Amino acid sequence: MPLIMGMSVLLACQFAGELLARGLAMPVPGPVLGMVILLVGLVIRGRVPDSLRLTAEGLLRYLTLLFVPAGVGLMVHARLIGMDLVAILVTLVVSTALTLAVTAWVLDRLRRRMPGDHVP
């Protein structure tokens, strides 16, 4: 019964996110909004219910299976990927560098706001 309750909570949050995304024509995917709804609910509650924890741990145990379709796609479309390999590699390197730079900048800004011992 706990697994059913936990899955019901996850699916209800995803459904609410889908309704919100489609109803308000938001450019954010419904499952992402559903996760935000779940997060808000958990923050308000102050703890994760045991049924939800059990369900989430079970799903996370098999998370690697979700990468199988992506791996198959890479193998099936290897020729197409090879044709655009330079563009893909440049995009990966630039986006990774940009993400690291923005993360470092945000961390620096947050550290300056924190009281206590830190490097100026």
pLDDT computed for residue 13 by the predictor: 94
- pTM of this structure: 0.59
3-state secondary structure of 115: coil
pLDDT band at 32, cuts 50/70/90?
very high
> In this structure, what DSSP letter does residue 116 have?
S
Read off the pLDDT of residues 49-61 as tens digits, 9 standing for 90 and up: 999 999 999 889 9
pLDDT computed for residue 24 by the predictor: 92
The dihedral sign for the CA sequence 75, 77, 79, 84: negative
- Any idea where the domains of the chain sit in the sequence? 1-61, 65-120
Extract the tokens encoding 46.
């102050």
